[in-house]
Amino acid sequence: MFEFTPTPRVKRSPFYEATVRDGVKSFYPYNNMFLPTGYGNPEKEYWRLINGVSMWDVGVQRQVELSGKDASILAQILSPRDLTKLSIGQSKYIAMCDHRGVIINDPILSMLDEKKYWFSIADSKVLFWARAIAAERNLNVDIIEPDVSPLAIQGPKSVNVISSLFGDWVKELKYFYFKETSLNGIPLLLVKSGWSKQGGFELYLMDGSKGDELWEIVKEAGKPWDIGPGYPNTTERIESGLLSWGGDTDDDTNPYEVRLGKYVDLNVPDNVIGIEALRKINKEGPKRHQLGIILDSDEQFKSHALWYDVLSNEKKVGDMTCGIWSNRLEKNIGLCLVSVKINPGDEVYLSKENKIYKGKMTELPFI
Ligand code: THG
Q: How far is the CA of 179 from the centre of ligand 1 (A)?
A: 18
> Quick check: CB of 107 below 6 Å from ligand 1?
yes
Instruction: Indicate whether 71 belongs to any domain.
Output: no
Ligand 1 touching residue 105 (CB < 6 A): no
Lowest mean pLDDT among 81-85, 259-263, 354-358: 354-358
323 in any annotated domain: yes
Which atom of ligand 1 is the closest one to the Cα of 245? 12
Q: Which atom of ligand 1 is nearest to the CA of 202?
A: 32
- 229 and 349, same domain (yes or no): no
Mean predicted lDDT score pLDDT of the chain? 97
Domain range for 28: 16-61+148-237
| In-domain check, residue 341 | yes
From residue 47, give the alpha-carbon distance in Å to each of 22, 323, 327, 330.
18, 19, 9, 14
pLDDT per position as a tens digit, 86-106: 999 999 999 999 999 999 999
Regarding whether 324 and 226 lie in a shared domain, the answer is no
Q: Is 243 in the pocket of ligand 1 (CB under 6 A)?
A: yes
What is the signed CA dihedral for 111, 188, 42, 354, rounded to 10 degrees? 30
Centroid of ligand 1 to alpha carbon of 213 (angstroms) = 26
Residue 2 pLDDT level (bands cut at 50, 70, 90): confident
Instruction: Say yes or no: CB of residue 91 within 6 Å of ligand 1.
Output: no
Atom 20 in ligand 1: which residue has the minimum CA distance?
242
Q: Tell me: do 45 and 162 sit in the same domain.
A: yes
Residue 302: its pLDDT value, please? Answer: 86
Ligand 1 atom closest to Cα of residue 176: 29
199 and 323 assigned to the same domain: no
Strands 228-230 and 54-57: parallel
Supply the residue whose CA is at minimum distance from atom 26 of ligand 1.
Answer: 93
What pLDDT, on a 0 to 100 scale, did the predictor assign at position 4? 78
Q: Evaluate: CB of 246 within 6 angstroms of ligand 1.
A: no
Is there an atom of ligand 1 within 6 Å of 31 CB? no
**Ligand 1: distance of its center to the CA of 106 in Å?**
8
Would you say residue 248 lies in a domain?
no
Look at residue 298 in the predicted model and tell me its pLDDT: 80
- The string of pLDDT tens digits covering residues 264-304 is 999 999 999 999 999 999 999 999 999 999 999 888 998 89
- 75 backbone dihedrals φ, ψ, rounded to 5°: -55, -45
Number of domains observed in the structure of the chain: 2
Q: What is the pTM of this model?
A: 0.97
9 is a domain residue: no
Residues 160 and 305 in one domain: no
249 Cβ below 6 A of ligand 1? no
Same domain, 51 and 194: yes
Quick one: 296 and 166 in the same domain?
no
For the segment 20-45, what is each residue's pLDDT rounded down to a tens digit? 999 999 999 999 999 999 999 999 99
One domain, residues 153 and 233 = yes
Q: Are residues 232 and 296 in the same domain?
A: no
| Residue 6 pLDDT | 84
Q: Is 106 in the pocket of ligand 1 (CB under 6 A)?
A: yes
Instruction: Check pocket membership of 293 for ligand 1, CB cut-off 6 A.
Output: no
The 10s digit of each residue's pLDDT in 305-354 is 999 999 999 999 999 999 999 999 999 999 999 999 999 999 999 999 98
Residue 343 domain flag:
yes
pLDDT digits (tens, 9 = 90+) for 137-156: 999 999 999 999 999 999 99
**Is 216 inside any structural domain?**
yes
Q: How far is the CA of 138 from the centre of ligand 1 (A)?
A: 30
CATH number, domain of 44, equals 3.30.1360.120
- For the CA of 120, the closest atom of ligand 1 is 3
Among 198, 218, 237, where does a domain finish? Answer: 237
Q: What is the pLDDT of residue 1?
A: 65
C-alpha span between 293 and 231 (Å, rounded): 24
The rounded distance, in Å, linking the Cα atoms of 56 and 289 is: 31
Q: Report the C-alpha gap between 233 and 31 in whole angstroms.
A: 18
Q: Which residue has the CA at smallest separation from atom 2 of ligand 1?
A: 120
Residue 340 inside a domain? The answer is yes
- Whether residue 150 has its Cβ less than 6 Å from ligand 1: yes
Residue 122 Cβ contacting ligand 1 at under 6 Å:
yes
301 CA → ligand 1 middle, Å: 26
| pLDDT per position as a tens digit, 181-211 | 999 999 999 999 999 999 999 999 999 999 9
177 & 305 share domain: no
Q: Considering just the CA atoms, what is the radius of gyration of the chain in Å?
A: 21
CA distance 337 to 316: 11
Q: Do the Cβ atoms of 234 and 38 come closer than 8 Å?
A: no
CATH number at residue 367: 2.40.30.110
Please tell me whether residues 228 and 325 are part of one structural domain: no
